[in-house]
Structure 1
Amino acid sequence: MIAFVNADLDIRKKPIFRNLNFTIQPGELVYIVGRSGSGKTTLLKSLYMEIKPVKGEVIVNGFSSRKIRKGKIAVLRRKLGIVFQDFRLLEDRNVYDNLAFVLKVTGTKHSLIKEKVMTALKEVGLEQAAKEMPQNLSGGEQQRVVIARALVGDPVAIIADEPTGNLDPETSIEILEYLKKINAKGISVIIGTHDYDLVRHHPSRTLMIKDMNLVECTIEPAPSGTCWHPVPKQAAVAS
């Protein structure tokens, strides 16, 4: 379970969120929506404790931002899969070795590495690309590798920060469908995005950033010829 309890988040002493109180249950798919610069990345970074609240706490998989020791942050991150907008693949290693590197760093038995890597690549339809170099793949294929890398360590949650921000609309839907498939296995998926039309394609629980807080919202179609737009359901997020 993920919980924010009376949490204030700042960046370089600038207030970003105030008094966040909400929970994400195991196995949920949740969108965090808001315009660029609204604080989505800050919120997601707090889940893997790169940023900690200046007040209150964040609890992730039993670890509290108030109590966690520096050495335990690495333990927490091993149970979280992170998907970045800009891929962050190792360009001097092929696809297989990008995934295997994660397992080696976390101390996975050598005898298990090949099976885990190929299983993760199969989940995103890229087992045939295991020996390819990342720069030889399309943007959509590289993002699928990133999803496989996030999945390879058997995470309890996938955290995706603008995972389709550099992709065309058709490829974006494809990436979202892979994330939905992963979520169907019982893995929590938290997606930060400014693309309301993407959310409309696969509706799920949606939290919108507004006035340094979050509100539950639905994404409903606007009249023909205009954009999709979020409709808040209530003034604050219920836990």
Structure 2
Amino acid sequence: MIAFINTDLDLGKRPIFRNLNLTIQPGELVYIVGRSGSGKTTLLKSLYMEVKPSKGEVIVNGLSSRGVRRRKIAMLRRKLGIVFQDFRLLEDRNVYDNLAFVLKVTGTKHSLIKEKVLTALKEVGLENSAKEMVENLSGGEQQRVAIARALVGNPIAIIADEPTGNLDPETSLEILEYLKKINDSGISVIIGTHDYELVRHHPSRTLMISDMNLVECTIEPAPTGTCWRPVPKATAKAS
């Protein structure tokens, strides 16, 4: 379970969230929506404790941000899969070695690495691309490698920060399909995005950043019928 309890989050001296209370249950698919610069990345970073609250606490898988030690944070991050907008792959290595590297640094037995890597690549349809250098792949393929890398350690949750921000609309939907497939297997998936059209294709719990807090919302058509916008629910604040 993930919980924010009376949490304040800041970016430098800039306040981002104030008195945030939120619970995300195991196995949920949750969208965090908001315009660029609204605080999505800060919120997601707090889940793997790169950002610490200035007040309150964040609890992830039973670990509280209050007084947490570096060793415990490292152990938590091994249980989380993180997907970035800019892929962050090792360009001097092939697809297989990008995933194997993650397992090696976390102490996975050598005899298990090949099976785990190939299984993760199969989940994103890249089992035949293991020996390809990442620089030879398309943007969509590189993001699928990044998703496989996040998946290879059997995480309890996938945290995806604008995972389709550098991709065209069609490829973006393909990436979302893979994330939805992962969620269907029982893994929590939390996606930060400013793309409301993307959310519309696989509706799920959606939280909009508003006035330094999160508001439960639905994605509905704007009056013109040509674009989409978040509509706050009557229940207002997330809980």
- TM-score, with length taken from structure 2: 0.98
**Alignment-derived partner of residue 99 in structure 1:** 99
Partner secondary structure for residue 3 of structure 1: strand
Return the offset for 1:14: 1.2
CA deviation string 1:22-69 (max 9, x = no partner): 100000000000000000000000000000000000000111000311
**Alignment-derived partner of residue 49 in structure 2:** 49
2:11 corresponds to 1:16: no
**Alignment-derived partner of residue 234 in structure 1:** 234
**Alignment-derived partner of residue 30 in structure 2:** 30
- Can you give the 5+ residue segments of structure 2 that lack an aligned partner in the other structure? none
Distance in structure 1 (CA, Å) of the matches to 2:52 and 2:42: 10
CA deviation string 1:185-206 (max 9, x = no partner): 1000000000000000110000
Distance in structure 1 (CA, Å) of the matches to 2:236 and 2:68: 28
Contact preservation (8 Å) 2:8, 2:56 = yes
Partner secondary structure for residue 3 of structure 2: strand
**Alignment-derived partner of residue 88 in structure 1:** 88
**Alignment-derived partner of residue 132 in structure 2:** 132
Partner secondary structure for residue 223 of structure 1: coil
- Corresponding letter in the other structure for 2:183: N
Partner secondary structure for residue 234 of structure 1: strand
Contact preservation (8 Å) 1:48, 1:77 = yes
Contact preservation (8 Å) 2:91, 2:135 = yes
**Alignment-derived partner of residue 143 in structure 1:** 143
CA deviation string 1:77-131 (max 9, x = no partner): 0000000000000001100000000000000000000000000000000000000
- Corresponding letter in the other structure for 1:29: L
Contact preservation (8 Å) 2:207, 2:238 = no
Return the offset for 1:236: 3.7
Contact preservation (8 Å) 2:81, 2:158 = yes
Return the offset for 1:235: 5.9
- Corresponding letter in the other structure for 1:200: R
Distance in structure 2 (CA, Å) of the matches to 1:108 and 1:177: 29
Contact preservation (8 Å) 1:213, 1:236 = no
Distance in structure 2 (CA, Å) of the matches to 1:148 and 1:105: 16
2:46 corresponds to 1:67: no
Distance in structure 1 (CA, Å) of the matches to 2:148 and 2:237: 31
Contact preservation (8 Å) 2:217, 2:231 = yes
**Alignment-derived partner of residue 113 in structure 2:** 113
Distance in structure 2 (CA, Å) of the matches to 1:29 and 1:54: 27
Partner secondary structure for residue 46 of structure 1: helix
Return the offset for 1:135: 0.7
Return the offset for 1:224: 4.2
CA deviation string 1:118-155 (max 9, x = no partner): 00000000000000011100000000000000000000
Partner secondary structure for residue 234 of structure 2: coil
**RMSD of Structure 2 on Structure 1 (CA):** 0.9
> Percent of aligned pairs with the same residue?
87
Aligned length: 239
CA deviation string 1:149-190 (max 9, x = no partner): 000000000000000000000000000000000000100000
Contact preservation (8 Å) 1:159, 1:190 = yes
- Can you give the 5+ residue segments of structure 1 that lack an aligned partner in the other structure? none
Distance in structure 2 (CA, Å) of the matches to 1:156 and 1:67: 23
Partner secondary structure for residue 20 of structure 1: strand
**Alignment-derived partner of residue 78 in structure 2:** 78
Distance in structure 2 (CA, Å) of the matches to 1:77 and 1:39: 21
- Corresponding letter in the other structure for 1:207: L
**Alignment-derived partner of residue 220 in structure 2:** 220
Contact preservation (8 Å) 1:7, 1:56 = yes
Partner secondary structure for residue 67 of structure 2: coil
